[in-house]
Structure 1
Amino acid sequence: MKKRALLLSLLLLSGCSREFVEKFYDVDYAATNRFAKNLAPLPGQFTKDSAAFDRLMSNFSGQVKRYWGDNDSLVSGKRQYVKYTDGYKSRAHVDFVRGVVIVETVATTEPENHLKEAITTTLLTPDNPGGVDLYSDSGIDFNGKPFLYGQVLDQQGKPIEWSWRANKFADHLINTGLKKRKIRYQQAYYVEIPMVADHANKRGYKYASIVRDASRRYGIPEDLIYAIIKTESSFNPYAVSHANAYGLMQVVPNTAGADVFKLVKNKSGKPSPEYLFDPAKNIDTGTAYFYILRNRYLKDVRDPLSLHYSMISAYNGGTGGVLKTFHRDRKRAMNDLNRLEPNQVYWALTNKHPKAEARRYLQKVTTFQKEFNQGKI
């Protein structure tokens, strides 16, 4: 009885109705330990380019560790932007989860001057991921509105767009908020800049017209596109991952990207990282992949809401992972899935999916969809 009560509570917390919960308790379906065969790989899986990516990262990491050591080396990811400059002696770290920008230097001569330059560079970095090399210490061309515009305010509460304001704010930060810490055998000088409370919303608003166009083009709901972007990258257009996924919707060129080129764009090859760092092209590609999921790989899912949950889960964990949740045989899995109510499909994918990450992913995306429709993103 305790197990039954616990199960009922968990289902109710997941948003299921009491009538459904009572009905679901007696549903019988099989879960297996093998993926269905001959299904398209999806974003989040390693690709053949992993070896080249690893070589690039190895060379880059070696340069970084010369100055920052093993314990303090940082690399850009899905939810953090890291850019090294000044011969790897200075860096910017934008933590989109914590909502803070950390700029620091380990320069040994005139460190405050190096830090000021790093701060202004960070504040004026343009909203153009394709023009910023995250895996070198190369300089940045300040052309266009800064990426952090409106997400960081200066000491007067003003957004920072021009060099004169960036320089004055840098002086203020160094005079009032300079901090020091030990990195290996040297002193690091740094400042922390808080981001505004709704920094994620401000990033998201910039893509409203792009999301709207992609939604109309492929018939995919806007709230789903927004929820995927927030889940995948927190609206960070510079997002990269260890799995060679790029940009706002974390598209992998060799898998989802190649499928979109072939099945939607009617062109050969695959998108380049530069292509996917363009927000408009990235959102178009990610949304087009949902079109493929809906109309090709998961077209046999009959209930629209069950299809919706399956598409979200497949975007992260693969079509094979979705079907494996229900049965090892593809036809049997699809039949079993179609026998269930949408809430049952949701419960299965968030409790029985073979990958824990995919179980959490569906929960996150559906939560963010609700927030979008409540005006929170």
Structure 2
Amino acid sequence: MKKTVLFLCTALITGCSTPPQSNDHHTPPIAGEPISDSNKKAIAALFSLLAKEAKKQWGEDEYIESSKHRYVKYLDGYQTRAHIDFDAGKIYVSTVSQHKPMEKLHKAIVQTVLMPADPKDIEQFTDKDIQLKGKPFFLGQVVDQEGKSIEWEWRANRFAAYMLENKLQSKTIKKGNAYYVQIDMVKDHLAQREYQYAHLVRDASKRYDIPEGLIYAVIKTESSFNPYAVSHAGAYGLMQVIPKTAGADVFNLVKKKPGMPTKEYLFDPANNIDTGAAYLYILKTRYLRDVTNPSSRHFSMISAYNGGTGGVLATFHTDRKKAMVALNQRSPSQVYDALTTKHPKDEARRYLQKVLYFQKDFKEGKI
């Protein structure tokens, strides 16, 4: 397994284009350090407000919220919701409304299957209706009772009627009765989402000299190609970019402009993939440029994308200069072993393993 991983990464880290260059030759600062309290507080406030309103309707036990691999949108005074499990390929549309519940479910099913591909057009922290415009995100990922893609409202309405007549389920919760339907995505739903972003990944790969397979693997690990992904850490979109850390670095070091991206900017898939790939470029060419072995650098930049450069170095020594020396004294397989067994954060240990595992499935030119 170790030899396979090493061979894979050695083959994938080479590039053929010239990315943007940095003029800074001073010792680089450390990226990916603990997220600022203000950033955490801002996203926590949004989640807290949503939870407060939704729990009034659903109760503590039945409350569900969005995460990196799950999208949850509340509607109708928080009494109705769409819950999308991107890993399992399941969509649950539910309501606890006791006033015309079937009408509420019908409307929510239509809005869910036709929800726009651009996440900026959806307010996931409110109960406002989903505005139906542009290409539906689930086009090709969800089909109706006839096996046909759902692109227009007339077909979505007919599908909703079919689901309510044939697939309606109910259960008793503390707040009363809940009615719901389960919609199964097509078997290749993940591949369908991958294909939506193939041109963006290809462009970002060429722009920053980052392998397409690595970008795909990071997206799959971070969000399962869920463009609506949001976390309590304040990370947004497909590559889960945090505005005040990775986002600010990209703006300042690559885009050469002050400030940091907004969440609206990062919810745009093109901006998100560009920013995530640019941050990988920063890790590779700036923060971890002193890692001499290309495979060791590859492992380190993947680990740093999740746990910060400081976490990578702390794996080898408490003193950062000594840590870099110690890292370079190890073989790539020893670096991999250290980062997957001795990294200070358990999540970062698993993260490197996951990304490398997924990267095997995304060889250049696959999509």
Partner of 1:228: 218
Partners of 2:300 and 2:2 lie apart in 1 by 20
Match of 2:194 among 166, 188, 204: 204
Q: Secondary structure at the match of 2:128?
A: coil
Query: Is the counterpart of residue 121 in structure 1 residue 127 in structure 2?
Result: no
Partner of 1:215: 205
Partner of 2:66: 76
In terms of Rg, which structure is larger? 1
Partner of 1:253: 243
Partner of 1:331: 321
* TM-superposed deviation, 1:40: 3.0
Query: Is the counterpart of residue 108 in structure 1 residue 83 in structure 2?
Result: no
8 A Cα contact 2:90 2:185, kept in partner: yes
* TM-superposed deviation, 1:176: 0.8
Match of 1:322 among 312, 324, 333: 312
Partners of 1:48 and 1:292 lie apart in 2 by 24
Partner of 1:188: 178
Partner of 2:345: 355
1:198-252 per-position Cα deviation (integer Å, ceiling 9, x unaligned): 1111101111111111111111111000000000000000000010000000000
Q: Secondary structure at the match of 2:361?
A: helix
Cα 1:364–1:45 shift into 2, 3 Å: farther
Partners of 1:300 and 1:222 lie apart in 2 by 23
Partner of 1:25: none
* TM-superposed deviation, 1:330: 1.4
Partners of 1:55 and 1:95 lie apart in 2 by 24
Partners of 1:121 and 1:162 lie apart in 2 by 11
The count of corresponding residues between Structure 1 and Structure 2 is: 348
* TM-superposed deviation, 1:13: 9.2
Partners of 2:136 and 2:178 lie apart in 1 by 26
Partner of 1:291: 281
Partner of 1:31: none
Partner of 1:368: 358
Equivalent residues in 2 for 1:32-111, closer than 5 Å? 39-42=29-32, 45=35, 47-111=37-101
Higher mean displacement: 141-150 or 38-47? 38-47
1:127-185 per-position Cα deviation (integer Å, ceiling 9, x unaligned): 01011011000122211111111111111111110011111111111111100011213
Q: Secondary structure at the match of 2:362?
A: helix
Partners of 1:303 and 1:45 lie apart in 2 by 29
Higher mean displacement: 46-55 or 199-208? 46-55
Partners of 1:255 and 1:262 lie apart in 2 by 11
Partner of 1:3: none
Task: Report the AA paired with residue 81 of structure 1.
Answer: Y
Higher mean displacement: 305-314 or 80-89? 80-89
Question: Structure 1: which 5+ runs fail to align?
Answer: 1-10, 18-37
Q: Secondary structure at the match of 1:372?
A: coil
Task: Report the AA paired with residue 340 of structure 2.
Answer: T
Question: Structure 2: which 5+ runs fail to align?
Answer: 8-27
Q: Secondary structure at the match of 1:74?
A: coil
Partners of 2:198 and 2:37 lie apart in 1 by 31
Higher mean displacement: 240-249 or 344-353? 344-353
Cα 1:44–1:320 shift into 2, 3 Å: closer
8 A Cα contact 1:43 1:256, kept in partner: no
Partners of 1:62 and 1:56 lie apart in 2 by 10
Partners of 1:127 and 1:60 lie apart in 2 by 23
Partner of 1:267: 257
Task: Report the AA paired with residue 333 of structure 1.
Answer: A
Task: Report the AA paired with residue 295 of structure 2.
Answer: L
8 A Cα contact 2:39 2:233, kept in partner: no
Partner of 1:134: 124
8 A Cα contact 1:46 1:243, kept in partner: no
Match of 2:153 among 163, 168, 171: 163
* TM-superposed deviation, 1:46: 5.2
Partners of 1:61 and 1:91 lie apart in 2 by 13
Partner of 1:30: none
8 A Cα contact 1:46 1:244, kept in partner: no
Q: Secondary structure at the match of 1:267?
A: coil
Partner of 2:22: none
* TM-superposed deviation, 1:41: 4.0
8 A Cα contact 1:350 1:360, kept in partner: yes
Normalised by the length of structure 2, the TM-score is: 0.91
In percent, how many aligned pairs have the same letter?
A: 56
Task: Report the AA paired with residue 360 of structure 1.
Answer: R
Partners of 2:197 and 2:234 lie apart in 1 by 23
Query: Is the counterpart of residue 302 in structure 1 residue 292 in structure 2?
Result: yes
* TM-superposed deviation, 1:39: 4.6
Q: Secondary structure at the match of 2:171?
A: strand
8 A Cα contact 1:317 1:358, kept in partner: yes
